[in-house]
Amino acid sequence: MVLLRTWVVLGDMAPWVLGGFGVAGLLSLWLNPQVIRTHFGGKRFGAILKAVGLGIPLPVCSCGVIPLGASLRKNGAGKGPTAAFLMSTPQTGVDSIAVTYGLLGGLFALFRPLAALVSGVACGWAVEIFNHDEPVKDAGTKPNLEENGRPWWQRVLHNGFIVLPRSVGGALVVGALVSATVMALVPEHYIAEHISSPLAQMALTLAFGIPVYICSTAAVPFTLGLLAAGLSPGAAMAFLIGGPGVSAATLLAVWRLMGLRSTLVYVTVLVACAIGFGLLINALVPTGWAPSGLRTMARHVHGAAGVPWRVHVQAALLLGVVAWAKWRR
C-alpha cells in the first residue's frame, strides 16, 4: 500500500513538476547568478525589493542559496538585501509553486510566494534597522550571458531537465515516499486528536522544519501526508515557510556572513511570518477543507477503476527524467 501510494503521489504531481522544470529552464536564460549580482546597487530599499523579487522565482534550495548569498555580499550587497535574498529565495520557486497548486490547491499556491515576499522584505528591513552597515564596494564584475556557446534551447533543456532534477529529484522521491508512509500508517486525524491547538501544531512543525533541510518542492508531498494525518492547514503553511526557508546550514552561513545579531533577526522574522500566515490560512480555509491532492489520491487508490493509466505514465516519466539527470555521464 505504501509503494502504491508513493507511485500515485509521483504520478499526480508529475505534470506540475515537469512543467515547473520547463519554466525554470526558461528563467535560467535571464535569472542566473551573474545577472543577480548586478542588481543590488542603488538605494538600500530598492535593493531589498530587487533581492526579493529576483529571488522568489529562482528554483534554489536553502543550501544552494548559500553560495549565491555569499557572492552577493562579496560583490557589494549590504546585509539587508543579502538577508532578504537568503530568506525569500529558498521558500519557493516556479517549480514548487506549480506542484503546490497541483497538490494543495490555489490558496496555498498564492500564499507561498506572498509569504516569501513579505518575510523577505521584513527580514531585510529588520536587519537594516538592527544591524545597519555600509555595502561592500562593488568588485565591478559584469555578467557574462554566454554559456559555452550553447544555443538558447539547449541551455533551457539542460538547466530545466538536467541541473534542476539532479538537484531536487532525489528529495522529491523521498518526499513522496514519506508522504505515502504517513498516509498509510498514521490514522486519519491522529495529529488533530492529540495536538488540538493550532499554535501548538505550528510550533511543532517549525521546531521540526527549521533545523532540517528540505527543499521547497519536496516539502509539498511531505505536507500532503501531514495534512492527511490531521495537521491543520495553518500549521501546514507554517511548515512550508519554515522548513524550506532555513536550515542549519543556512543559519551558520547567515551567522558567518552577517553576524549573530542578524542571525537572531533572521530567525525571529521567519518564525513570526510563519505563524502569522498560518493563522491567516486557518481563518480563510473553511471547515472540512481537504487539499485537492488528497481527494485525487483517494479516487485513484480506492476507486473502483483503479489507478488510471495516465498516472502510471506520468510517474514513470518523472522518475525517468530524475534518473537520467542523476546518472547520465
Instruction: Quick: pLDDT tens for 245-282.
Output: 877 767 877 887 788 888 899 999 999 999 999 999 99
* Phi and psi angles of residue 229, each rounded to the nearest 5 degrees, phi first: -85, 0
Average pLDDT for the chain: 81
pTM: 0.77
H/E segment holding residue 204:
helix 198-209
**In angstroms, rounded to a whole number, what is the distance separating the alpha carbons of residues 241 and 196?**
21
Picking from 212, 273, 284, the residue whose alpha carbon sits closest to that of residue 243 is 212
Per the CB < 8 A criterion, the answer to whether 85 and 52 are in contact is yes
Better-scored residue on pLDDT, 321 or 62: 321
Instruction: Quick: pLDDT tens for 179-233.
Output: 788 777 877 678 878 888 989 999 989 888 776 667 888 889 888 888 888 899 9
Return the pLDDT at 232.
Answer: 92
DSSP category for residue 303: S
Percentage, residues of the chain above pLDDT 90 = 24
Window from 113-127, 210-224, 276-290 with minimum mean pLDDT: 210-224
* 75: confidence class by pLDDT, cuts 50, 70, 90: low
Residue whose C-alpha cell reads 492529540 in the numeric block: 194
CA distances from 13 to 65, 102, 224, 314 (A): 24, 6, 11, 8
Per the CB < 8 A criterion, the answer to whether 103 and 224 are in contact is yes
* 116: confidence class by pLDDT, cuts 50, 70, 90: very high
**In angstroms, rounded to a whole number, what is the distance separating the alpha carbons of residues 232 and 52?**
28
How many residues are recorded in the chain? 329
